[in-house]
Amino acid sequence: QHTGVVFWDHGGAWHGFAVDESSGSDSMTVDEIATGLQHVATTTGIGKFSLISFDACLMAELEIASALEPVADYLLASEEVVPNHGMDYSVLAQAVTSDPVQFGNVMIEGFRQQSDAMGDLPSVTMSLLDLSKVGAVNDALAVMQQAVEADPSATVQFLNAADGANAYGFSPDPAQDMNLRDLGQIARSLSGRNTSLAGTSGALYDAVTSMVVQHMEGDGHAGSTGVSVYAPLSI
């Protein structure tokens, strides 16, 4: 009734996934992943995968969701770095149902409980994203981009909001920082301010919350909304 794929290895958001030690530590780009999955879906006749899961760091990102939208219904991934223990596969038996959302919810709860037992719950995140809603998020983001272009001061407003949002893969060394920020938090912050971006950011926040079916985060990332975006603070 449903098909899914679990990817396990190192994740680097839009930079790519996995390390092929037999080929100069080459990584798969997001486009390569999407192309490979599309080839499988086409040749097997399944149409779309019900769910793509990344047991990998930093893959609950808008850019990842956008690339995978043509090939999958749901994306299960983490905004933040995933601890070494990864996902908890002991819950697979109860997770496998005829409902991909239920599968995702059980896997998220298993990950939460395992992270709690391992002592790293404060730092973890995990999200289930409805990829059919990605288009609405990108449309809302495009409208915000137009508003930023129309008002030079809006760039500073956006950067201030991004600076106050939760960061993932963060490093104080700018050369090592992944520049990933919580998209919903950015939108929520801007919508609550008396700025030229208030209206467009409110629509963006609504689109983000509609796309995020379920999310979990520890106290270290309180307020996260479930999906990140590449937002370098330096222009």
Rounded CA gap, 153 and 229, in Å? 21
pLDDT, tens digit (0-9, with 9 covering 90-100), for 129-169: 999 999 999 999 999 999 988 888 888 999 999 999 999 99
| pLDDT tens-place string over residues 211-234 | 999 999 999 999 999 999 999 987
Instruction: Quote the pLDDT of residue 233.
Output: 86
Provide the pLDDT for residue 235. Answer: 58
Mean pLDDT of 43-66: 96
Please give the torsion angle defined by the CA atoms of residues 101, 105, 108 and 109, in that order, rounded to the nearest 10 degrees.
-170
Each residue's pLDDT tens digit, 77-110:
999 999 999 999 999 999 998 899 999 999 999 9
Mean pLDDT of 115-122: 96
Question: Phi/psi at 55 (nearest 5 deg)?
Answer: -85, 70
C-alpha span between 62 and 81 (Å, rounded): 16
Percentage of the chain exceeding pLDDT 90: 86
Average pLDDT, the chain: 94
Burial of residue 149, with CB atoms counted within 10 A of its CB: 0-12 exposed, 13-18 middle, 19 or more buried: exposed
